[in-house]
Amino acid sequence: MTQFLHGVEVIEIDDGSRPIQTVKSAVIGLVGTAPGAASAVAASLTLGSVILNDGLVFTAKKAGTEGNAISVEILPQSEASAALAVTVDGNKIKIVLGTDADAALTSTADEVKAAIEAEAAVAALVSVAVLGDGSGDVAATPRTYLTGGENEPFPLYKPVAVAGSRKRAEGLGVGGTLPAAIDDIFDQTGALVIVVRAEEGADDAATQANVIKAMQGWLDSQTETGYTPRILIAPEFSQVDAVSSEGEAKAKRLRAIFYSDCERTATYTDAIKRARQFGERVEVTWPWVRVFDTELAKEIDRPYSARAAGLRARIDAEKGFWWSKSNQQVYGIVGTSQPVDWSLGDANTTANMLNENKVSTIIREGGFRHWGNRTCSVDPKWTFEQTRRTADIINDSVQRSHMWAVDRNITKTYVDDVIAGVNAYLRELKALGAILGGECWADKELNTPATIQKGLVYFDFDFCPPYPAEHIVFRSRLNNDYLEEVFS
């Protein structure tokens, strides 16, 4: 019973279904090396001038944006024969200038520098250099902050989001594997790439171990950047079995697909054998591709996985995650490192044998095209990459959109609201062409009083994704009955 009110009251009822937002599918997770990556920049402040020999340059001891919070204040004082004093309160450095017998300010730049270096707490914050010979008297200055401090753009083992910007990627510098991989991806589309930089080791084995360590950054990405990578690659390392095995493990946890290269010199039969090592979360590609290197002014071989990832992101953006990337043009390549024979109706070509054995390749027909739909799955239910990814995206979208439903009272209204929300989402996906149909329901046999009493409630939903027309059959017949039309 509400309290007495002579008027109008509004009570907000917080029930009803909630819309489900599809998670981002075209997010690439990339690991590799970049020894030339930009370092953090220390904040600095320049006071005075070299001409008057009273200039001071303050530089934060710790590089990064934290240095921008440091301030310097230089104060005069009116007492005669006062000593120069330097104090610090947190990030606030205060310098009180000394005076002579006539109360004139007499602290030189050299003296201020020495006083700062003598004060351990201040010296721990900044270093100081003088401009000129340091003999000029320093003037009073209001509080001024150090500026220009920048964090390391690509710290080791930390996920960093690069949103389709080549300029943002310039922080990777030159050398290592990451700059070239980013270029491969961006040749296809301006994708969102989660970059994790690994440290170069003393030898190949140490570097490979560091790359495997860096893959943990993919798992941290949602927390650190707000994005979960769905397309995972490690170009120039994924031909190593240990790297691809770890990539597969991370793909399982992230509901992602890992694209694995073969050795540059591997034969197509080697590629077929390699595909047998992995499951539904891995797509093996063969061979490497030929690209023109503008720095070397010649064609070079590159692993294909980065361009395949960029292509997958492009198809997601242009057509949808439910589309196959097979028979779609790959940009920026001039050939393949090994020949791939192909014919549209011949089952005995190299391309067809590779596809039959779960290896994707590249054909040349109206440009260079990705050719292959299949992951390494032995379960025919999940053999098509687009099927696996469609299920992943739908499952993740439904899961993430029901935070609101956790810990609410299990009532008929609650159950109806959840079912209505999921069914509305499935109808939306059907209208987009992402699925052919789907339905959500609550199974009474599972939702017994005993399970509900434990705070457990079950919702079932199903859906049917579209499948790629991988094998088209035209049945041709010779029919002489049409000869009658000659004399009709």
Identify whether residues 300 and 176 lie together within a single domain.
Answer: yes
pLDDT confidence tier of residue 13, bands split at 50, 70 and 90: confident
Q: Which residues contact 404 (CB under 8 A, 6 or more apart)?
A: 18
Identify whether residues 260 and 179 lie together within a single domain.
Answer: yes
Tell me the longest C-alpha to C-alpha distance in the chain.
131
- CATH number for the domain spanning 349: value is 3.40.50
pLDDT confidence tier of residue 406, bands split at 50, 70 and 90: very high
pLDDT on residue 18: 86
For range 206-229, the mean pLDDT: 98
Residue 38 lies in a domain: no
Residue holding tokens 């090994």?
Answer: 338
Is the pLDDT at 294 greater than 70, yes or no? yes
Is the pLDDT at 1 greater than 80, yes or no? no
pLDDT on residue 105: 86
**Could you tell me the two tokens for 204?**
């190949």
pLDDT on residue 487: 81
Prior bond of 303 cis (ω within 30°): no
pLDDT on residue 10: 81
Residue 36 lies in a domain: no
pLDDT confidence tier of residue 454, bands split at 50, 70 and 90: very high
Sheet containing 44-47: order of strands: 44-47, 55-60, 126-131
Identify whether residues 327 and 351 lie together within a single domain.
Answer: yes
Is the pLDDT at 184 greater than 70, yes or no? yes
Residue 482 lies in a domain: yes
Residue 426 lies in a domain: yes
The rounded distance, in Å, linking the Cα atoms of 400 and 282 is: 24
* Percent of the chain with pLDDT strictly greater than 70: 100
pLDDT confidence tier of residue 15, bands split at 50, 70 and 90: confident
pLDDT digits (tens, 9 = 90+) for 323-378: 999 999 999 999 999 999 999 999 999 999 999 999 999 999 999 999 999 999 99
Helices (H) and strands (E) in the chain, counts: 13, 20
The rounded distance, in Å, linking the Cα atoms of 165 and 41 is: 21
**How many independent structural domains does the chain possess?**
3
pLDDT confidence tier of residue 101, bands split at 50, 70 and 90: confident
Identify whether residues 204 and 139 lie together within a single domain.
Answer: no
Identify whether residues 378 and 456 lie together within a single domain.
Answer: no
DSSP letter for 205, please.
H
Of 93, 121, 145, the residue that ends a domain is 145
Identify whether residues 262 and 379 lie together within a single domain.
Answer: yes
For range 126-143, the mean pLDDT: 95
Residue 232 lies in a domain: yes
Residue 31 lies in a domain: no
pLDDT confidence tier of residue 12, bands split at 50, 70 and 90: confident
The rounded distance, in Å, linking the Cα atoms of 327 and 355 is: 12
The rounded distance, in Å, linking the Cα atoms of 347 and 423 is: 42
Residue 14 lies in a domain: no
Residue 24 lies in a domain: no
pLDDT digits (tens, 9 = 90+) for 412-443: 999 999 999 999 999 999 999 999 999 999 99
**What is the sign of the dihedral through the CA atoms of 94, 99, 105 and 111?**
negative
Of 386, 418, 450, the residue that ends a domain is 386
pLDDT confidence tier of residue 2, bands split at 50, 70 and 90: low
The rounded distance, in Å, linking the Cα atoms of 361 and 335 is: 12
Identify whether residues 470 and 331 lie together within a single domain.
Answer: no
pLDDT confidence tier of residue 313, bands split at 50, 70 and 90: very high
**Could you tell me the two tokens for 419?**
């079912």
Q: Which of 328, 378, 372, 380 is nearest to 350 (CA)?
A: 372
* Residue 462: other Cβ atoms inside 10 A: 11
User: What are the Cα distances from residue 170, in Å, to 38, 167, 179, 193, 385?
Assistant: 9, 5, 8, 14, 32
Lowest mean pLDDT among 100-114, 253-267, 402-416: 100-114
- Give the mean pLDDT of the chain: 95
**Could you tell me the two tokens for 121?**
């707490």
Identify whether residues 111 and 136 lie together within a single domain.
Answer: yes
Of 329, 353, 386, the residue that ends a domain is 386
pLDDT on residue 103: 80
Identify whether residues 59 and 86 lie together within a single domain.
Answer: yes
pLDDT on residue 478: 96
User: What are the Cα distances from residue 154, in Å, to 26, 347, 371, 378?
Assistant: 21, 47, 34, 38
Identify whether residues 331 and 281 lie together within a single domain.
Answer: yes
Q: What are phi and psi of 169, to 5 degrees?
A: -75, -10
The three-class DSSP label of residue 137 is: strand
pLDDT on residue 484: 86
Lowest mean pLDDT among 1-15, 68-82, 127-141, 391-405: 1-15
DSSP letter for 199, please.
P
Identify whether residues 188 and 288 lie together within a single domain.
Answer: yes
pLDDT on residue 447: 97
For range 261-285, the mean pLDDT: 98
Identify whether residues 238 and 318 lie together within a single domain.
Answer: yes
Domain encompassing residue 241: 159-386
Is the pLDDT at 485 greater than 90, yes or no? no
